[in-house]
A and B are shown apart, each in its own frame.
Chain A
Amino acid sequence: MMREFISCLLAASLLAAQQPAPPDPAWDRLYPNAKVLELMRGYERSYPGWVKVESLGKTSAGGDTWLMTITNPATGAASSKPAVYVDGSTHANEIQGTETTMYIVNFVLKNYGKLPRVTEFLDRATLYLIPMMNIDSRERWFRQPSNPNFPRTLPVPLDDDRDGLIDEDGYDDLNGDGEITMMRKKVPLGRGNFKLDPKDPRLLIPVGPNELGNYIMLGFEGSDNDGDGQVNEDLYGYVDPNRVWGDGFQPRYVQNGASEYPLQYPEARNIAEWMGSHFNVNVVMSYHNFGKLILRMPGARSQRPMPQVDLRVHDFLGKEGELMLPGYKYVWVAPVLGDSYGSSADHTYGRVGAFSVGIELNAPQQDFNNDKNVSQDEVMKFNDELTQGRMFVDWKPFNHPQFGEIEIGGYKHDTGRSPEGFLSVEEYHRNAMYVLLHGFHLPKLVVQTPEVIKVKEGLYRLHIPILNERMIPSVSGIVAQNRIHRQDLAMIEGVKVLASGTVTDRFMNRVELQQHRPERLMVSGGIDGVSTRTLMFLIEARPGKVKFVYDSLKAGKISKEIELP
């Protein structure tokens, strides 16, 4: 009580003191890296001690892996508390993952002390964020001609077409409008597989089986830069930062986008090394787009299935997500999006023991006729009516070095995958609340009133019930299966422990004894979500106080003084 009071005072005084006003960004736009970093630094300045911004190391093209750590410093060090980790922009073109993380930061910092659940969160938990995972390619998306799908991967050169030249035939902004849009060509009737949409000549429709076409699509804007008869076949990059992780890694011939060995590049390795010494991370949420999905692992059907104890937690949080995020589906990723190996979620689950999900933000923005399908007409209608044509670049003729007379046009790079500004704040907010739901369900252990039995003079039997008030267990099932780190540890300090164990039936007085070393009781499986586990100690002690300690890498360390009669 006293501690909470002091920490509130401290918080209030920090806010009231001469700290610069915290950033107050608008949420209807996408922010280039420098602006994001400025926001991060701004929060750090406004909330000294509460926010820490640090680099975990350099990235492939000279950026940094910026980590933001947020907690109430008065209630314990960040690394001693259970934590939620959130990242964004693993795929550089999935831009608004970054803004989603910044919204969370802004919300928790400004509502501490005002909203009890936010206050509880920063008091007892830590929030780690890496807003710009694939930072160098994200920068390129803003600075150089790009499209909604590009650049996506790490900024490392790769000889995609295996001709001995590297990244020599990428997209070209042929018409110099700063966008990589599409190329189409009108051809004599019978040589095409598309025709103009009679209602809207900006759109092409595929010809039917008994119909002749007079248009062909030629892909994204570009030419044959290396004279090999192919267009755009060796783009900048193609190592996918979400296919390079260590758990379940498979090489490129099995998993496209994989690196030559797991965690070869610093964008992922910086995080893996840092998280390998931060087992207090209980939850990992990676923001991607697109499709409104909450994806759970494992990434491939051939991997071992998730232990049931963990699956039920995932299922609970996933179903809650479907309620909090209308239109989102909680799914097992492999049968829906196909097998994938080496994702960060597989790694942070299998190697750290965290409950890990990938979240695909956003979906086509309006289904005007409510037929559960957003057609190209509807996307165009949205462009025309709700953005006044902001999204689409009209087709213009161009004389192409290989294809001759063509037309270039299509959707701009900052459309489709990220919502239009007027729609974005609701999605950021709902997702931020979903992160806080995970924060709420971080394990919260409470030592309940112990039962103290005086067996005889100097010999006591203690039954100590420990309640986990929230859904996430104090140690996940995968930790034991993969031998990731130690299980929870229970001890009574300063006394001789003759026996210890877990009470399996409190009415029948059944105890599963630990066969050896009773003074260090390893609580395998920890304390399940929303449940109580009772531990038994048989100790030699004199009347007075003894200290019980329960030490969990994931749930934190708690203790209680027990009075012996």
Chain B
Amino acid sequence: MFHLFGEGDFPLRHRFVCACAALALASLASAQSVPGYVNFADGEKRLAELARQNSSWIQLVSIGNSAGGKKLHLLAIAAPGKVKPEQRPAVFIGANLVGFHNAGTQAAVAFVEKLAAKRNDAAVKQLLETRTFYVAPMLNPDAHDGLFQGPKYRRSLNVGQLDRDLDGLIGEDGYNDLNNDGKITVMRMEDPAGEWIVDEKDARLMRRADPLKGEKGKFKMMPEGFDDDKDGQFNEDGPGGYRPDRNFAHAWNDADPESGPWPSAQPESKAIMDFLITHRNVAMAVVFGPANNLLEMPRGAGGRGGDVGSIKVTLPRNLASATGLEANKEYTIDEVYELLKDSPLARAQGGLTKEALAQFLGGGPATAPDAEDLKFYQSFGDEYKKILEKAGLDTKRAGGQSAPGGLQNWLYYQYSAMAIELDVWGIPKKAAPKPAANTAADALTLDKFEKMTAAEVGALDDAKLGDFLKSINAPAMATAQMIKQGVASGRMTPAQMAGMIRSQGGAQAARPAAGGAASSGPTTPDEDTIAYVDASAKDGFVNWTPVTLPDGTKAEVGGVDPFLAITPNEAELKKAVDAHADAILFMAGKLAEVAITDVQVKSLGSGVFEVSATAANNGFLPTATRLQVRTRSFLPARLTVTLPSGAKLVQGNNRVSSERITGTGGTVKATWLISADSGAKVTVSILTPNAGEDRREVVLQ
């Protein structure tokens, strides 16, 4: 099926230029209102109003400017409470950095509105007094108004001058609204070399011809527009700068000009990171963007997360000879650690950790979410789906994956917070007929393949493996035999292969519109879209109409409205944003929260006292993600003792650290021997960057 503005994101780098179509556009360029959605200027007013009306607990701040000079607004939300707002566990909510996900902006604003409306409800009040919320609803101001401008297409670039086709000309070949309908859709042209034919099931849809069935392609397809600069490419260099939502350092695409000249170069991405690294009280981040991490678990590029023990490394020659290991052989970090942990060298360094070994031996970065962390995504996902179902929203649709080089990736992999991207809404999955028995369940999927051993892959039926390769859009050269040989040789494990397929978009290529349904299943994505158009969005499909390009070429323009799959109508939007406000309130109640739970004082005689302290995490989430134990980008939880003057520690360090206190009652303990006068008071504190603090004073006697 042709992706009618497919995926949860814009698949092709094509933009609109108005030079040649200025006349046709003049009438359309004026702003249009879309019920339920705010443009940037109205959004600014709404945020200012919320801050003004709730000035005792909402502050409007600007964290920077866009490339086009517009403000990046953020609401800092915290009701007066015992702890200062910047020291409370915080939730960061960032929306519409991608530029065309206006539903995300509405969800962020609606969350604040809900807080304001329920300000005096016990549960909300308690959250507002113990948490801080940082809400930035419009993170890509330069692209934000694409929904309201004709001709409509998914804008995501900030203001700038980029020669994306590297021909020395800037912004010279964008889209053209050939049928003057105010939307950029798609275009089909009859071409003997084309790969597309009309889908016999529904004449509105196109599908790829299958040469194995004797089908011959009839059309070529591309986004609507002509070849303004006559270089043989259509719409390859429209106006605008870079994509701030692709400008983060984790898995950054170094060969896509739109992802920026280098990671963190864009003012929007830099401002967001500058804010977050100076607000280390953030424990959880919700990104409203085109993927949904709670409907579909994040997978990353395959490979490892926080567990460094199984990473394979080779040792430098000098270390190998000093330890009696072989220089060119692969060892796991676990193996090296066991050998070295008690060595004089390790003792001289004050102890050895697997994380430090992994860094020293070039273990590389984490490339997949940690399995421990995924359990919490799963747990939140279960509750999230209940909330959606209660609101009458679909939970069967697929969520897609967060973009490499994007904000969610940076938040999870480098900043190291629990980071959840949510798309707010997507085209619902069409009611499914019962799948034919034994087909779907038996078919090989990427998830299954990933978990197989080399022997299991070797034992697979060639035809089944072949079907699988086809299902992931593998290139023709990748045969079942080749995969088997690759795995048998040990050069690559099935998991690594799966990771590669994912990182190259293999699985995504077969993924549907709107971050929609899974690649195989009872209904195909475009059928879902068409069913949705027929049922609820009559204007959502533009019927194919003939046009003539300036060079005389005949073509037809038609297809799905570019915003259809990510922009629910006002009534659906209201349900979706309300459900998401509830979901955030639910998750915000689950953050880690530490407290001193026990302090015992025992006199050992001669003015020496033993103080034993326990602190616990009474929240649901751990005090850190499992990955954070590896990245160490937040300070650890520290259990400390403060002595009065005259007292001193007989033994031990004044603090015990824990990188991660598990939730629901996980503890950290410390024992100190203190020499002091009887009756002296000491303070035991548990300090964390983003799970709160607690103190208790005890008398030594």
Contacts and interface: CB of A to CB of B under 8 A. Distances in A.
Interface of A: 159, 162-164, 227-230, 245-247, 249-256, 260-264, 272, 276, 300-302, 338-339, 347, 350-351, 481-483, 485-487, 489, 515-517, 520, 522, 551
Contacts of A261: 248-249, 263-264, 270, 273, 277, 410, 414
B362 interface: yes
B257 A229 contact: no
Contacts of A263: 262, 264-265
Contacts of A250: 364-365
Contacts of B255: 481-483
Contact of B653 (A164, A228, A249, A300): A228
Interface residues of B, number: 47
Contacts of A159: 635
Interface of B: 163, 166-168, 229-232, 248-249, 252, 254-257, 261-265, 270, 273, 277, 316, 350, 355, 359, 362-365, 410, 413-415, 630-633, 635-636, 638, 653-655, 657, 687
B285 to A, nearest CB: 15
Contact of B655 (A163, A486, A489): A163
Nearest to B308: A253
A520 B166 contact: no
Given A483-B166, A520-B167, A246 B653 contact: no
B264 A246 contact: yes
Contacts, number: 120
Contact of B254 (A247, A254, A551): A247
Contact of B277 (A253, A260, A276): A260
B631 A251 contact: yes
Contact of A517 (B231, B249, B270, B635): B231
A253 B655 contact: no
A91 to B, nearest CB: 20
A262 B355 contact: no
Contacts of A351: 261-262
A260 B168 contact: no
B232 A301 contact: no
11 contacts: A251-B365, A251-B633, A253-B632, A260-B414, A262-B263, A276-B265, A339-B362, A482-B254, A485-B163, A520-B231, A522-B167
B175 to A, nearest CB: 19
A253 B304 CA distance: 14
**Chain A's interface: helix, strand, loop or mixed, by majority?**
loop
A249 B632 contact: no
B160 to A, nearest CB: 12
Contact of B273 (A162, A260, A551): A260
Given A261-B414, A300-B362, A339-B362, A252 B633 contact: yes
Given A251-B633, A253-B355, A246 B167 contact: no
Nearest first, the 6 closest Cβ-Cβ pairs linking A and B are A246-B262, A516-B232, A253-B631, A261-B264, A486-B166, A486-B168
B219 to A, nearest CB: 21
Contacts of A245: 262
A164 to B, nearest CB: 6
Contacts of B365: 250-251, 253-254
A244 to B, nearest CB: 10
Given A251-B365, A252-B633, A263-B265, 19 more contacts: A245-B262, A247-B254, A253-B631, A254-B359, A256-B359, A261-B264, A261-B410, A264-B273, A272-B265, A300-B362, A351-B262, A482-B254, A483-B166, A486-B168, A515-B232, A516-B230, A517-B230, A520-B168, A551-B168
Contacts of A302: 362, 364
A482 B166 CA distance: 11
Given A228-B653, A300-B362, A516-B232, A486 B632 contact: no
A509 to B, nearest CB: 24
A246 to B, nearest CB: 3
Contacts of B363: 254
A485 B166 contact: yes
Nearest to B257: A483
B633 A246 contact: no
Contact of B232 (A247, A486, A517): A517
B633 A260 contact: yes
A484 to B, nearest CB: 8
B168 A489 contact: yes
A189 B167 CA distance: 75
A347 B261 CA distance: 10
A254 B364 contact: yes
A108 B257 CA distance: 37
Nearest to A347: B262
Of listed A227, A249, A276, residue having the most chain B CB within 10 A: A249
A272 B230 contact: no
